[in-house]
Structure 1
Amino acid sequence: MLNVCLNCGEYRVDKLIESKDRKTFAICPECDHAHEFLQLPLIIVTGPSGAGKSTIVSQLSSLTKDFVVMETDILWDDRFNSPETNYLEYRELWLRMAKNISQSEKPVILCGTAMPEQLEQCIERRYFSELFYIALVCENNELKERLQNRPSWRGSNSDEFINGMIAYNNWLRENSGKNEPVINLIDTTNISPDETAQKIVTLISDKWI
């Protein structure tokens, strides 16, 4: 558990991160103890509901064993429903989990709706070498049809929800290349989940493998 100092036992998220001789250390603000850790990249697969994020989780896991693939919805609870903080507590929770998982020498791929600004502001962000963003998008009519055809328990077929997802879809399509950091787009309108997963693996492989 990286946030607990192995020397003084204090819990501090805000450790100083320093690199030396190709090693990275988290330095405790209380006692200056330097804890070596693996500062790996974190891959974020985002996009509007209906674009295909949840569908490709199992395909991604079967295509590559070099990463740990997780869907962020599995930890959602209404206590994290805090739009006034831009869902900060929930984002911190996932970054903390991904940070600890990555100490097993496998980077994490997180699949779930998120904006870069929600993650880049997190204090846990410092423990990753890079956040690499991939967004799944599709044509608006296709997105609307997918959301309307979902089971009612998912609560995604109201006009308000659909219009919100279409707005997010449009924002990604218009701003992905201008955003900092850049968001890599994959259009899922006319491709299968298997093809989508393969495109994600190719994007990641081209960058790191």
Structure 2
Amino acid sequence: MEGAPGVGKSTTAGVLDGTISPSIYEGDLHIDLTNGNLSWAAICDLDFRICMMLHAADEQALFVGGVHPHDLSDSPETRYFSSIERCALVCDDSDLEERLGERSMAPNTIDTFLDVNRWYREQGAAQDITVINTSTADPDAVARRVHTWLDGAEP
């Protein structure tokens, strides 16, 4: 489950926690430890390795994080997975600007995340990514939609 910061990934993961069979692995849990110390590509590879270890322990993983669309194909770690199903949370630009503004982000950073959010909204479905808009539903409804997606994404 991916998307730009502020679209509701962590909120949705919190609602889903304990209600789904995949283990939820939230990339934000270690981003502060790695940010500034590792490249974005290395952080993505680390995320895949952690999911791979969960899989090796016979646990299906729901990764929750800000993976950019190109990062999946660029990571050599993806070869360890028979399939990767993708779901992106998005929201309307005005909602994202408000949510990120509450986080005291710099305007140029907000612009970057607006671009990422727009890409998912406009291009995600064409890339076989399920897209769910969090502006049009409350967190419980978004979690139900993600749960439905998970049920359909299971092998």
Using the size of structure 1 for normalisation, the TM-score is 0.68
- 2:123 paired residue number: 175
* CA displacement, residues 12-63 of structure 1 (integer Å, 9 cap, x when unaligned): xxxxxxxxxxxxxxxxxxxxxxxxxxxxxxxxx1111110011122211122
In 2, Cα distance between equivalents of 1:93 and 1:115:
14
Summarize deviations over 1:156-193 as a string: whole Å, max 9, x none. Answer: 2x2111111111111111111222xx111000003122
Partner of 2:149: 203
Contact persistence 1:67–1:109 (CA under 8 A): yes
1:133 pairs with 2:81 = no
Match among 63, 74, 80 for residue 110 of structure 1: 63
Write out aligned runs for 1:1-209 (5 A): 45-64=1-20, 66-76=21-31, 77=34, 78-80=36-38, 82=39, 87-150=40-103, 152=104, 156=105, 158-179=106-127, 182-208=128-154
1:207 and 1:162 mapped to 2: Cα distance?
31
Offset of 1:200 from its aligned partner?
0.7
Describe the SS at the equivalent of 2:17. helix
Paired with 1:103 and 1:198, the residues of 2 have a C-alpha distance of: 28
Q: Comparing both chains, which one has the higher relative contact order based on Cα–Cα distances under 8 Å and sequence gaps of 6 or more?
A: 2
Question: Match for 1:79: what amino acid?
Answer: N
Letter in 1 for 2:91: C
Q: CA deviation at 1:95?
A: 0.9
Number of residue pairs matched by the alignment: 152
* Contiguous gaps of at least 5 residues in structure 2: none
Identity %: 28
Greater percentage in helix: 2
- Rounded to whole Å, the distance in 2 between the matches of 1:47 and 1:199 is 15
Measure the CA separation in 1 of the matches of 2:68 and 2:133: 18
Contact 2:25 2:51 in 1 (8 A): no
CA contact (8 A) 1:47 1:137 kept: yes
Cα pair distance change 1:185/1:107, threshold 3 Å: same
Quick one: which amino acid aligns to residue 159 of structure 1?
Answer: P
What is the alpha-carbon distance in structure 2 between the residues aligned to residue 74 and residue 111 of structure 1?
A: 10
Structure 2 residue identity aligned to 1:104: A
Checking the alignment, whether the CA contact within 8 Å between 1:63 and 1:198 is kept in structure 2 is no
The TM-score normalised by the length of structure 2 is 0.90
Local SS of the residue matching 2:62: strand
Structure 1, unmatched stretches of 5+, are 1-44
Deviation at 1:132, TM superposition (A): 0.9
Alpha-carbon distance in 1 for matches of 2:5, 2:153: 26
The structure with more radius of gyration: 1
Contact 2:90-2:121 within 8 A present in 1 as well: yes
